[in-house]
Each structure stands twice: as structure tokens, then as C-alpha cells.
């Protein structure tokens, strides 16, 4: 039987050298399926803006939307650590606003931790959240909420200046009390160095094999959102094709009066 995963379990995974498994979910059905399968950490990502709402970027996602998705996933999750992603401008303005919104994800959504993007500049906010008992996960490298500043979906930390800054940010986030850091689209060697430098776990997405764990957007790894194929997002299923085939079969059966049968009727 799967045991309840807590922040302490995630930290222990690193000290024991056991890789952390993490995926995103946005609703009850995915919540219980991923949880039953034994995933350690489920993130209600602001990627809901891309895969559920069809937005081009994650920027339009609101606090109310993430609260709704978190509450839905919460109903299905018994074992995994449930983390809510704080959307753009829900934590950047002031620590007070960040505390207020993080509180909503926990009280109304049932999250056990929150995730924020950024480095040294958000450390005061992180400290304030950790002080009052809100576990916080970080996100460095390609941080989607800064897509316009970056000028596209590029790998980060490729030159030495940016690599050094990322290392300093990672240490600052650890000092501020974070329990884990996501590294997105970072060269594998840099992710290795950051993972070795930190005592808290790194969770990679497009950051090579040396991170302490891996996370993917569930819709990408299941082949459900198949409009784009990211180099780092290995596909373990082709659900979009399965759905297309199933819907075609249903429409054919309805049109040819092959559905419903006697057995499917009262």
C-alpha cells in the first residue's frame, strides 16, 4: 500500500538517493489515477492555462482558476504530496499578497505546499511563507511566467554568467527555506552541479538525468496534448489518438444504428 508522502519524505528521498517522481494534474480523475499509480508529488501547474484553457502562455491564469483545479485534484489524492502552482502576479507584488494567496491554495484548495518561480528577489516572500508554516517549492531555469522577458522558450543557463546566477539563486532559495527546486530547460551538466551543491532536492524538467527527481506535464507524457512535442517530454501513451479513434467509432456506430444495442437499452 502507498504511504502518505510529506515534505519530509521528499527531503528524505534525496538523502537516501531515491529519485522523486512528479507529474501535473488539474482534475479529480487525473488526481486519483496518478495517486493510485504511486506518484510522489502532484503539481497543480499553471500549465492548466495551456492544456485546459488553451491559452498561449501561463500569464492569464488566475488564483481562482488554480484554487478550483487544486480543489478538484484534492478529492482524488490520498498519498501524493499536493502542490499548487502560484500563478503570475499572485506573489510577485508584495509578501502580504503572496501570503494571502498561498493561504487560499491551502485553505480552499487543500494544497500541502505551493510553488513559485524566481530566485533571490523572491526570497523575502519565501521566508515569510515558510515562517508561518507554508512549504514552498522553487522553479529556476526556464520559468514560463517570464517568457516575454526571455524572448521565447529557450534553454537557460547556457553561458557562464547565467549559470553562476542560477547557482546563486538556488542557494538563496535553499537558505530561504524551500524544500525543493524545479529546474526547467537547463543544461544537464549545470543541473548536476546544482543538484550536488544543494541539500534540498532538485526536480528536473528538460534538465537531464542528474536531478533528484523528474516532473512532466501529464498531458504531454500521455500524448493527450499533442499539438507540440517537447524534446524532453517522453511520450508514454498516445491518448489524443485513442480519443480520436474512440470518438470516430462512436459516431460511426450512432450513424449506422449499431449503438445502443439491446444489452445497452432498458
Name which of 53 and 246 has its Cβ closer to ligand KIV: 53
Place of cell 530566485: 119
Q: Are 98 and 125 in contact (CB under 8 A)?
A: yes
Among 35, 65, 85, 212, binds ligand KIV (CB under 6 A): 85
Name which of 115 and 192 has its Cβ closer to ligand KIV: 115
Question: What's the closest the beta carbon of residue 206 comes to ligand KIV, in angstroms?
Answer: 9
Does 182 bind ligand KIV (CB under 6 A)? Our answer is yes
Place of cell 543538484: 195
- Of these residues, 184, 193, 196, 264, which one is catalytic? 184
Question: What's the closest the beta carbon of residue 112 comes to ligand KIV, in angstroms?
Answer: 16
Question: What's the closest the beta carbon of residue 211 comes to ligand KIV, in angstroms?
Answer: 12
**With CB under 6 A as the contact rule, which of the stretches 43-51, 126-134, 163-171, 225-233 interacts with ligand KIV?**
43-51
Active site residue 36: no
Does 191 bind ligand KIV (CB under 6 A)? Our answer is no
Name which of 149 and 264 has its Cβ closer to ligand KIV: 149
User: According to CB under 6 A, which residues from 129 to 158 bind ligand KIV?
Assistant: 139
User: Which of 200, 215, 202 lies closest to 12, judged by CA?
Assistant: 200
Beta strands, E only, the chain = 20-24, 41-44, 81-85, 113-115, 136-141, 180-184, 202-205, 213-216
**With CB under 6 A as the contact rule, which of the stretches 2-10, 45-53, 153-161, 239-247 interacts with ligand KIV?**
45-53
In whole angstroms, give the CA distance from residue 227 to residue 2.
34
Q: Are 178 and 137 in contact (CB under 8 A)?
A: yes
Name which of 44 and 190 has its Cβ closer to ligand KIV: 44
DSSP codes, 121-163: GGHHHHHHHHHTT--EEEEEES-GGGHHHHTSS-----SHHHH
Q: Are 201 and 20 in contact (CB under 8 A)?
A: yes
Place of cell 534553454: 155
- Binding residues for ligand KIV, total number by CB under 6 A: 11
Q: Are 172 and 120 in contact (CB under 8 A)?
A: yes
Question: What's the closest the beta carbon of residue 217 comes to ligand KIV, in angstroms?
Answer: 5
In whole angstroms, give the CA distance from residue 48 to residue 17.
31
Name which of 26 and 160 has its Cβ closer to ligand KIV: 26
Catalytic residue ranges? 184
Amino acid at each position: 500500500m502507498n504511504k502518505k508522502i510529506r515534505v519530509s519524505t521528499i527531503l528524505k528521498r534525496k538523502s537516501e538517493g531515491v529519485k522523486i517522481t512528479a507529474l501535473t494534474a488539474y482534475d479529480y480523475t487525473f488526481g486519483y489515477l496518478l495517486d493510485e499509480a504511486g506518484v510522489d508529488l502532484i503539481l497543480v501547474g499553471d500549465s492548466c492555462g495551456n492544456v485546459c484553457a488553451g491559452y498561449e502562455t501561463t500569464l492569464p491564469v488566475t488564483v481562482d482558476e488554480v484554487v478550483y483545479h487544486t480543489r478538484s485534484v484534492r478529492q482524488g489524492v490520498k498519498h501524493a504530496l499536493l502542490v499548487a502552482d502560484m500563478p503570475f502576479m499572485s506573489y510577485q507584488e508584495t509578501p502580504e499578497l503572496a501570503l494571502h494567496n498561498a493561504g487560499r491554495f491551502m485553505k480552499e484548495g487543500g494544497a500541502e505546499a505551493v510553488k513559485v518561480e524566481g530566485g533571490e528577489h523572491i526570497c523575502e516572500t519565501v521566508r515569510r511563507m515558510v515562517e508561518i508554516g507554508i512549504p514552498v517549492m522553487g522553479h529556476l531555469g526556464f520559468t514560463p511566467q517570464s517568457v516575454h522577458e526571455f524572448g521565447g522558450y529557450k534553454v537557460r543557463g547556457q553561458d557562464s554568467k547565467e549559470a553562476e546566477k542560477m547557482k546563486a539563486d538556488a542557494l538563496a532559495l535553499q537558505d530561504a527555506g524551500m524544500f525543493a527546486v524545479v529546474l526547467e530547460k537547463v543544461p544537464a551538466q549545470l543541473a548536476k552541479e546544482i543538484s550536488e551543491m544543494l541539500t534540498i532536492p532538485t526536480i528536473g524538467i528538460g534538465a537531464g538525468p542528474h536531478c533528484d527527481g523528474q516532473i512532466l506535464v501529464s498531458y504531454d507524457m500521455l500524448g493527450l496534448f499533442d499539438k507540440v512535442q517537447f524534446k524532453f517530454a517522453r511520450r508514454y501513451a498516445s491518448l489524443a489518438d485513442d480519443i480520436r479513434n474512440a470518438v470516430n467509432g462512436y459516431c460511426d456506430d450512432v450513424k449506422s444504428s449499431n449503438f445502443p444495442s439491446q444489452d445497452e437499452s432498458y
